[in-house]
Amino acid sequence: MPRPDLQPVTDPSDPRLADYVSLTDVALRSRHEPEKGLYIAESSTVLGRALRAGHRPRSVLLAPRWVPDLERMLADLPDDGAIVPVYVADEPVLEAITGFHVHRGALAAMHRPPLAPVADVLAGARDGAGARRVAVLEDVVDHTNVGAAFRSAAALGVDAVLVTPRCADPLYRRSVRVSMGTVFQVPWTRIDPWPDGIDELRAHGFVTASLALADDALTLDELVAEPPGRLALVLGAEGHGLKPATVAASDLVVRIPMAGGVDSLNVAAAAAVAFWATRA
């Protein structure tokens, strides 16, 4: 197993902690992740799922009471001879280091794995049998909505998630936390270019169904009554929804029937409804 190298920390300005210092959302996105190829796993639950998915820690920062949990998680991994620095600090020191309250007392700086090509993600889903139902998140910029959509995708059996170039990062700290680490169990990658990527989905046998308000849209019930063999559900950004070019290029336009004078749902809620309705 990777061996933890426990190193007590009492000084928030310790240079060993550069990956964790003042991790505001903006700092994490603009400085740490693109430059160093890192993302932050927050909480022991999320870290455990990341490790089980094969992601490798650069270091771990945690409170003393979480050390036994970490040692158990590392013991379940194959022995690769690696040594993982584990910085141990009391919770007030953790908060002084990071700039926020550390939920469940654990953070890890994780090496970001390279993204796979779309074709590989589609082919590798269902243990190599190939994806039959995927979600496409178009320009969803709210990290909370991205994380919630991934959690619904995992819970409701979506085979893969594809995110467009302008969509928020699923490995961003808030996305990972809201997803409860399910971003590590649902295969995903970026589909680029977009919406030209619809042609690639079509070449793999997928019918693309854009969720949008349109006069000629099918209802979700009508889609479910005659489901295509391979379905790609396309969900749009908060507010203005899908691009007109995306809707025009899709095979189908689908709407969720609404009542009470409400015209649409939040994208994360709409994703959950659509994933549940189209589950196998």
Residue bearing the bigger pLDDT, 239 or 134: 134
Q: Considering the chain, what is the average pLDDT of its residues? A: 90
Q: Give the model's pLDDT for residue 28.
A: 53
E strands along 30-178, which residues?
Answer: 38-42, 57-62, 83-88, 106-111, 133-137, 160-163
Coil vs helix vs strand at 196: coil
Closest listed residue to residue 181, CA positions, set 64, 24, 271, 51: 51
For residue range 203-227, list pLDDT tens digits in order: 999 999 999 988 889 999 999 999 9
Q: 266 and 145 in contact (C-beta within 8 Å)?
A: yes
Q: What is the pLDDT of residues 163-175, one digit of tens each?
A: 999 999 999 888 9
Predicted confidence band of residue 268 (pLDDT cuts 50, 70, 90): very high
| Cα Rg of the chain, angstroms | 20
What DSSP string describes 92-118? HHHHHHHSS--GGGEEEEEEPPPPPPH
Identify which has the larger pLDDT, 117 or 35: 117
Spatial distance between the Cα atoms of 50 and 60, rounded to a whole number of angstroms? 13
Lowest mean pLDDT, pick from 5-9, 89-93, 149-153: 89-93
Q: How does residue 36 score in pLDDT terms, banded at 50, 70 and 90? A: low
Q: Which helix (H) or strand (E) holds 174?
A: helix 173-179
Using alpha carbons, select from 235, 276, 230 the residue that is nearest to residue 253: 235
Per the CB < 8 A criterion, the answer to whether 188 and 162 are in contact is yes
